[in-house]
Copies of this chain bind each other. A is one copy, B any other.
Amino acid sequence: MENPLVDILYTQNWDSSTKFSIKVTKPLHSEVTPYQRIDFFDSETYGRFFTLDGLMMVTQKDEFAYHDMITHVPMATNPDIKRVLIIGGGDGGTSREICRYKHIESVDLVEIDERVMQLCQEYLPQTAGHIAKEPRLHLHFEDGLNYVKNKPDASFDLILVDSTDPIGSGEGLFTTEFYRQCFRVLSDDGILINQHESPYYQFHVKEMRKAHRKIKDVFPIVRVYQYNIATYPSGHWLFGFASKKYDPVRDHQVERWEAFGLKTMYYNSQIHEGAFALPTFVNEMLAGTDPNTLPIFPHKDYVE
């Protein structure tokens, strides 16, 4: 758009009274699949970005924060992980990061909507460029819950749930049944990382707490860690870390991870541990001792 009289805005309503808008330099592609609507846009600040059912998924500017934090935290907790399952993640960013570990033997990626991956291969080589060239990567275009149901026990050392919010096609990935199946197909060393929503706006808080309660019913060790990503609602997002025996802070393998020699833009050995230190209101939301949402007047009870 060179016309100074015209702006094309992509706008996500972060909640009923909050709008986040990006000036679009060029709408690139838009289609409706059996699963969802997919859109690609170009912008100045964020480079290229894509949305599913209108919700922001990946921008070129800040995808590294999400993909670093979903992969390197478990890999630095158990550097012997060899068999990885990615549920969702059709943009390829998560498998790109995991495939940087030369010792990983196989990565199964289960994406319900093949068109997401095809379009990311066409429009987002930054995240999807490795897919066609990576022999360890095995693609499965089916429902994630169905896929894990049909796998034998202890098939994987790591499951990364790289999903949308628990609405539409991502909903089954936030159920107790799904977490139970994940537990079963994980080895005794197994770790599950899942997209754990955000502690700021009411919708995300509600889903965060629901997902957290369900995972705690299934896994003996459950921790939550945070990262910043400005293009997701509030910019303050969480991953869940669930495992059968490893604690991500107690069992943090600093030297072994540093020996991999990976250059990362967000993750490092300090933030690995720092990210598990959550603000008090987040701890209280996760523990379920506070009201459903962050109170508007947090100080009224205790300021003298």
Contact = CB atoms under 8 A, between A and B. Distances in A.
Interface residues of A, number: 62
A298 B273 CA distance: 23
14 contacts: A16-B45, A17-B44, A17-B46, A18-B45, A19-B22, A20-B20, A60-B297, A61-B294, A62-B294, A64-B281, A267-B280, A268-B283, A271-B279, A274-B277
A20 to B, nearest CB: 6
B299 A126 contact: yes
A96 B303 contact: yes
A132 interface: no
B281 A266 contact: yes
Interface in A35-53: 43-47
6 tightest A-B contacts by CB? A235-B235, A274-B277, A17-B23, A274-B274, A230-B234, A270-B277
Interface string A251-283: 000000000000111111011011111111101
The copy count of this chain in the complex is: 2
A299 B96 CA distance: 10
A304 interface: yes
A200 to B, nearest CB: 5
Contacts of A271: 277-280
A16 B45 CA distance: 8
A242 B20 CA distance: 34
Given A18-B45, A21-B21, A96-B299, 9 more contacts: A64-B281, A130-B303, A130-B304, A228-B279, A235-B235, A266-B280, A267-B279, A271-B277, A274-B276
Interface of A: 9, 15-23, 43-47, 60-62, 64-65, 96, 100, 126, 129-130, 200-201, 226-228, 230, 234-236, 263-268, 270-271, 273-281, 283, 294, 296-304
Contacts of A266: 279-281
Nearest to A15: B45
